[in-house]
Chain A
Amino acid sequence: MSATVAAQMIGADFLKLRRRRGTLAWALLLAAAPLVIFFAVRAGQYSSAPATHAPPGGTDSYIDALRILAVFFGPLAAILIGADAGAGDSSAGVFRDLVVTGRSRLALFATRVPAAIALSWLVAALGYALVVLGTFAFSAGGGPTPSGAMVLDGLGFTLLSSAVTCAVAVGFSSLTTSKPAALTVLIGWQLVASPILTNISSLGSARELVLREAIDHFSPVGLGDRGGRSGSAVTLGTGTAVIVMACWVLVFGALGAWRTRTMDA
């Protein structure tokens, strides 16, 4: 497959995703609404009792807002988009029409991934813009603000979190060929199973295999130590974290590709 064809197919997959208004609206809502609420509550608290509440902007708020976006709601938005990308053609019944073009099934699968990541990055970038905007716009009290390097690191972390989660979602959704099933399992894993597993200390180093822990390793602000996850004693080396993330992406990518290649269209 030539680069031109690949680019066209990625563009077509991107078109399918960005025109799906419901999914996009939910993804944007997940990325933006919690941040708006967060900053609004902080601003309200500060304006009503400035002596007892920190300013709504500044470094502390940045760290909390980044956690909201990159650890909780950004991955959910990425899951929505990834699940749509993986199962969209099968759900709509057009997969067979794409197979009939003669294009290889692996190519049909492979182009879904960058298209989904591109859209999830757009959504995550919008959320991150809100994080930065709130951090600096509400830092009028003169408190510390994040450095430029920290802002860039935070952006990188947000994009990494979205991309990895989205890629896994595309693979899993392609495997199940069912968007509802993929969403149920992935959101359940992200919101329920992962936190539980990482807090079961008897699992020991097996907890390093939890994707969320591997992603959190790359947080620029030690997110894992904040926000009530003190029970988590999972500490990974950078190499381990990279390997764990790569394994998740590769395993689910391979399963999704296998299913796309072998299923009756």
Chain B
Amino acid sequence: MPPQAEPRPDDGAPAIETRGLTKRFGARAAIDGVDLLVPRGCAFGFLGPNGAGKTTMIRTLLGLTRASSGSMRMLGVPVPEQRVTALRRVGAIVEEPRFHLHLSGRENLRVVAAARGPEVRSRIEPALARVGLTARGDDRVAKYSMGMRQRLGVARCLLADPLLLILDEPTNGLDPGGILEFRQMIRAMVEQEGRTVFVSSHLLDEVEKTCDAAAIVDRGRVVTQGPVAELAGGGAPGELILGVDDPDRALRMLDGSELIATVRRSDEGLRAVLAAGSEPAAAAARLNAALVGAGIGVMRLEPVRHSLEQRFLEITTRLESAEEGVPA
């Protein structure tokens, strides 16, 4: 295969593309026929419970371990065939960031810069500045907190001037302040610097707050992927919560409406699942008019917001039930 040109920011190729990617350890498939498409210029969450295969996927992409079958491309470049070309513009933290503890932060970056090439050394100071470690750059890493090590790990990634950053559980071990800081850093890299950030996490909240799109992975398989908002909605029927002054009458009335599939009482009031094909905003307006017209006071009428957490639990529960042969 002829060598491919270095990836460019605007070449339009997906950041990551895998087809049928499989990694087996003996009989067990840690990742199993994964088709993944990570678009450029977004924060992409790779979400799954512990042991789902997230780190194995990252290690396979980066060539730290060999795939059993399937194909991969990073920044449009096939790997592992041309991993040197692909990795030139990729930065990664796999599992927790590790360093030579006896060296300073700056010296650790020098070690990696030496391996990346002569032009990279000039990026050490900007990278330290970008993560706010300039003043502590000469301290031995052994004296760094977990948060500082995470930031130094990002600085190490930035030495590649990466088009793609791959961060494996980046908020593990960080305090709430550190998590917030890290989240802001990821968003800035995407929105201000145009980089693609691939974040693996088992924290649903983290992915929902940080990422534009996500894939949900379970037992080595990607079970769904897409924009976070779509995943959270997940094609579930629209739902409304209604607060009224006469719940019994409202319940009878809604039960007979063609706009409503089911309605029930809940702690929050009445919870109505819209009939298939009902557009939530229009249905809400018509229901409000009908209730008010019938003399029922409406204090609350709002759509139910599905969270990625609900969606994730729905999917993983469904998978577990399917494997156990129990109807979900």
User: Judging by beta carbons under 8 Å apart, are A94 and B99 in contact?
Assistant: yes
CB closest chain-A residue, reference B107: A15
Select one of B90, B103, B112, B118 contacting A98, CB under 8 A: B112
User: Judging by beta carbons under 8 Å apart, are A12 and B62 in contact?
Assistant: no
Task: Answer whether residue A11 sits at the interface, using C-beta atoms and an 8 A cutoff.
Answer: yes
Interface string of B111-122 (1 = CB under 8 A from A): 111111110010
Interface string of A85-110 (1 = CB under 8 A from B): 00010001110111111111000100
- Contact A103-B103, Cβ < 8 Å, known A12-B110, A96-B94, A97-B156: no
- Contact A15-B111, Cβ < 8 Å, known A92-B99, A265-B64: yes
- Stretch of A16-24, A128-136, A199-207, A251-259 at the chain-chain interface: A16-24
User: Judging by beta carbons under 8 Å apart, are B112 and A101 in contact?
Assistant: yes
Task: Answer whether residue A238 sits at the interface, using C-beta atoms and an 8 A cutoff.
Answer: no
A9 to B107, CA, bound (A): 13
User: Judging by beta carbons under 8 Å apart, are B62 and A15 in contact?
Assistant: no
Task: Answer whether residue B295 sits at the interface, using C-beta atoms and an 8 A cutoff.
Answer: no
User: Judging by beta carbons under 8 Å apart, are A5 and B117 in contact?
Assistant: yes
A11 to B103, CA, bound (A): 14
Q: Which residues of A contact B83 (CB under 8 A)?
A: 102
**Chain A, interface residues (CB within 8 Å), range:** 20 to 34
A19 to B102, CA, bound (A): 7
Q: Which residues of A contact B87 (CB under 8 A)?
A: 100-102
Q: Which residues of B contact A11 (CB under 8 A)?
A: 114
User: Judging by beta carbons under 8 Å apart, are B62 and A100 in contact?
Assistant: yes
A19 to B104, CA, bound (A): 10
User: Judging by beta carbons under 8 Å apart, are B86 and A102 in contact?
Assistant: yes
Q: Which residues of B contact A15 (CB under 8 A)?
A: 103, 107, 110-111
Task: Answer whether residue B188 sits at the interface, using C-beta atoms and an 8 A cutoff.
Answer: no
A2 to B119, CA, bound (A): 13
A88 to B156, CA, bound (A): 19
Distance between A112 CB and nearest chain B CB, rounded to angstroms: 12
- Contact A12-B114, Cβ < 8 Å, known A99-B64, A100-B62, A100-B90: yes
Q: Which residues of B contact A240 (CB under 8 A)?
A: none
Task: Answer whether residue B100 sits at the interface, using C-beta atoms and an 8 A cutoff.
Answer: yes
8 A Cβ contacts from B79-113 to A = 83-88, 90-92, 94, 97-103, 107-108, 110-113
Task: Answer whether residue B12 sits at the interface, using C-beta atoms and an 8 A cutoff.
Answer: no
Q: Which residues of A contact B64 (CB under 8 A)?
A: 96, 99-100, 264-265
Distance between A53 CB and nearest chain B CB, rounded to angstroms: 45
User: Judging by beta carbons under 8 Å apart, are A93 and B114 in contact?
Assistant: no
Task: Answer whether residue B65 sits at the interface, using C-beta atoms and an 8 A cutoff.
Answer: yes
Q: Which residues of B contact A9 (CB under 8 A)?
A: 114-115
A11 to B65, CA, bound (A): 28
Task: Answer whether residue B63 sits at the interface, using C-beta atoms and an 8 A cutoff.
Answer: yes
Task: Answer whether residue A4 sits at the interface, using C-beta atoms and an 8 A cutoff.
Answer: yes
Task: Answer whether residue A8 sits at the interface, using C-beta atoms and an 8 A cutoff.
Answer: yes
Q: Which residues of B contact A8 (CB under 8 A)?
A: 113-114, 118, 121
Distance between B131 CB and nearest chain A CB, rounded to angstroms: 16
Most chain B C-beta atoms within 10 Å of own C-beta, residue among A9, A20, A94: A94
A93 to B83, CA, bound (A): 21
A15 to B87, CA, bound (A): 25
Distance between A123 CB and nearest chain B CB, rounded to angstroms: 18
User: Judging by beta carbons under 8 Å apart, are B118 and A5 in contact?
Assistant: yes
A11 to B111, CA, bound (A): 9
Distance between A107 CB and nearest chain B CB, rounded to angstroms: 8
Distance between B53 CB and nearest chain A CB, rounded to angstroms: 15
Distance between B171 CB and nearest chain A CB, rounded to angstroms: 19
Distance between B80 CB and nearest chain A CB, rounded to angstroms: 11
A12 to B62, CA, bound (A): 23
User: Judging by beta carbons under 8 Å apart, are A16 and B100 in contact?
Assistant: yes
User: Judging by beta carbons under 8 Å apart, are A93 and B115 in contact?
Assistant: no
User: Judging by beta carbons under 8 Å apart, are A102 and B100 in contact?
Assistant: no
Distance between A172 CB and nearest chain B CB, rounded to angstroms: 21
Given contacts A97-B94, A100-B90, 7 further A-B contacts (CB under 8 A): A8-B113, A19-B107, A94-B108, A98-B112, A101-B115, A102-B84, A102-B88
Q: 25 A-B contacts, Cβ less than 8 Å apart?
A: A5-B115, A5-B117, A8-B114, A8-B118, A12-B111, A12-B114, A12-B115, A15-B103, A15-B107, A19-B107, A20-B102, A92-B100, A92-B101, A94-B99, A94-B100, A96-B64, A96-B94, A97-B98, A98-B115, A99-B64, A100-B91, A101-B112, A102-B87, A103-B116, A264-B59
Chain A to chain B: the 7 pairs with minimum beta-carbon distance, closest first: A93-B98, A102-B87, A12-B114, A8-B114, A265-B64, A102-B84, A103-B115
Q: Which residues of A contact B (CB under 8 A)?
A: 2, 4-5, 8-9, 11-12, 15-16, 19-21, 88, 92-94, 96-104, 108, 264-265
